[in-house]
Amino acid sequence: MKVIVIGAGIGGLTLACKLALGGIIPEVYDSAPRLEPIGLGINLLPHAVKVMQEIGVLDAIATRSIETYESTFFNRFGQHIYSEPAGRHAGYDLPQYSVHRGDLHGPLLERFTEIAGEDHVHVSHRCVGYEQNETGVVVHFQDTVTGEVLPSVHGDILIGADGIHSVIRKSLHPHEGDPVYSGVNMWRGSVVHKPFLNGANMTRIGWLSTGKLVLYPMRDNVDGAGNQLINWVVEIETPKYKDKRDWNKEGSFDDFMWAFEDMKFDWLDVPALLRSTTKVMEFPMVDQDPLPFWTRGRVTLLGDAAHPMYPRGSNGAGQAILDGKALGDALVAAATDPLAALKVYETERLPATTKVVLTNRATPPDIILKEVFDRTGDKPFTRIEDVISLQELSGLSSNYKKIAGYDREQLALR
């Protein structure tokens, strides 16, 4: 079986590794001229960590990341709302990791080339179209840098793992509507900073109406002086966004710092941390309505190409990783009938990711912050127990985990 994978991102490389380990060496094509360690922070939840363990890259990731100790929630006055342990500290078999995207992508790429060889990853190949028939699929490429037409490639199966601007998705759904804007704009960055709290917290502060901040460490002792590389994400309700979605668009402090100037707590000076950042990236929080199908004939979708979702709940990369495992396992198990394997994959993953997309819109994991914001009228409280019970806070968190597929009991049963 010859499998063609368009996109050498997290999802595409997870699939490539699973296939290669099962004896199917795919050809992986990416439009980037070079595969570089770009991006910012990613959180790997235990179900995604399990896949990394299966592939054989977990040790490499663990040495480059932070094992998350707990999730913590505060209002914008710095008052503690709720904490819950994460990963092994919460009873899971495996840890939760906060990691720079490059420190996740790098080990996946190294692992694939270790198994398959370097000749199976092709850069500067922009997919511009394809045709398929009963015997196979022919994929057409253009050189990203020069624009010249590159030789077409024939295969048995085509996987579109080509991200939020997927050419493959557009070919399968040419009349799809525009991205759905949440009404929230995001700014992101990373900064070298001394550890805060216990040095391994996934922390959420404030709420979207007045400015929400998510931050967590993703590399330890980066300068020999004990400082960490901290990832942060700012989210603010914004009626309109100015530009198309582009993960690499630069942002400006002037657009959001007003919301965080007063966040100076005894455990963290938020404005000082943010202003220490050298480069800010801006991105509108958008997703797409779930598709009725991903697969047509010999072609299917994976990751952001299949289900772009709000970057909430550590689910963007996580769901792409689960896609890669499911599709890789299905193709290896049904090597003589790849079309049947694509159906098995879609039947498993399309409903699951649809639930996550819709839940991220309605009741995301940070719904805890909204409940406290609404019930207090955005004012300080005396006792959090007078605002909301610990049982209710725990219930809000547990419900999201079940829908997103990383509830501890569900994972144990699997």
The CATH number for 323's domain is 3.50.50.60
Confidence of residue 152 (pLDDT cuts 50, 70, 90): very high
Q: What is the pLDDT of residue 242?
A: 63
160 within domain boundaries: yes
Range name among 60-69, 206-215, 399-408 with the lowest pLDDT average = 399-408
- On the question of pLDDT at 239 being above 90, the answer is no
pLDDT exceeds 90 at position 214: yes
The answer for residues whose C-beta is within 8 angstroms of residue 53's C-beta and 6 or more apart is 94
- 18 in any annotated domain: yes
pLDDT at 335 (0 to 100): 73
Q: Is 117 inside a domain boundary?
A: yes
Res 42: pLDDT: 92
For residue 209, being part of any structural domain is answered with: no
Mean per-residue pLDDT, 292-321: 91
From residue 265, alpha-carbon distances to 116, 199, 201, 260, 274 in Å are 51, 16, 16, 11, 14
Task: Name the pLDDT band for 411 (thresholds 50, 70, 90).
Answer: low
Residue 115 located in a structural domain: yes
pLDDT of residue 401: 74
- Judging by beta carbons within 10 Å of its beta carbon (0-12, 13-18, 19+), is residue 254 exposed, middle or buried? exposed
Q: Which pLDDT value is given to residue 177?
A: 85
- The CA distance from 359 to 41, in Å, is 22
Q: What is the pLDDT of residue 365?
A: 75
Question: Is 361 a residue whose pLDDT tops 70?
Answer: yes
- Using an 8 Å Cβ cutoff, are 38 and 8 in contact? no
Q: What would the mean pLDDT of 232-245 be, rounded to a whole number?
A: 82
pLDDT in tens, 18-40: 999 999 999 999 999 998 877 88
Quick check: 351 pLDDT over 90?
A: yes
Q: Specify the pLDDT at position 362.
A: 80
Tell me the β-bridge partners of 70: 85, 201
What's the confidence (pLDDT) of residue 414?
58
d(C-alpha 263, C-alpha 196), whole Å: 14
Q: Which of 89-93, 102-106, 171-175, 327-331 has the lowest mean pLDDT?
A: 89-93
Asked if pLDDT for residue 381 goes beyond 90, the answer is yes
Q: Find the range with the poorest average confidence among 87-101, 121-135, 167-181, 396-410.
A: 396-410
- Please check the confidence at residue 412 and state whether its pLDDT lies above 70: no
- pLDDT of amino acid 37: 79
- Give the chain's domain count: 1
* Of 35-49, 127-141, 257-271, the least confident: 35-49
204 within domain boundaries: no
Instruction: Point out the least confidently predicted range of 25-39, 307-321, 338-352.
Output: 307-321
Residue 406 lies in a domain: no
- Residue 374: predicted pLDDT: 96
Residue 260 lies in a domain: no
**Is residue 64 over pLDDT 90?**
yes
> If you average pLDDT over residues 229-241, what whole number do you get?
91
3-state secondary structure 45-99: CHHHHHHHHHHCCHHHHHCCCEECCEEEEECCCCCEEEEEECHHHHCCCCCCEEE
Q: What is the pLDDT of residue 366?
A: 83
Q: pLDDT per residue over 244-303, tens digit each?
A: 666 677 889 999 999 999 999 999 999 999 999 999 999 888 889 999 999 999 999 999
Which domain range does residue 163 map to?
Answer: 3-40+101-177+289-362
Average pLDDT of the chain is: 92
In whole angstroms, give the CA distance from residue 84 to residue 113. 38
Please answer whether residues 127 and 139 qualify as being in contact, where contact means their C-beta atoms are separated by less than 8 angstroms: yes
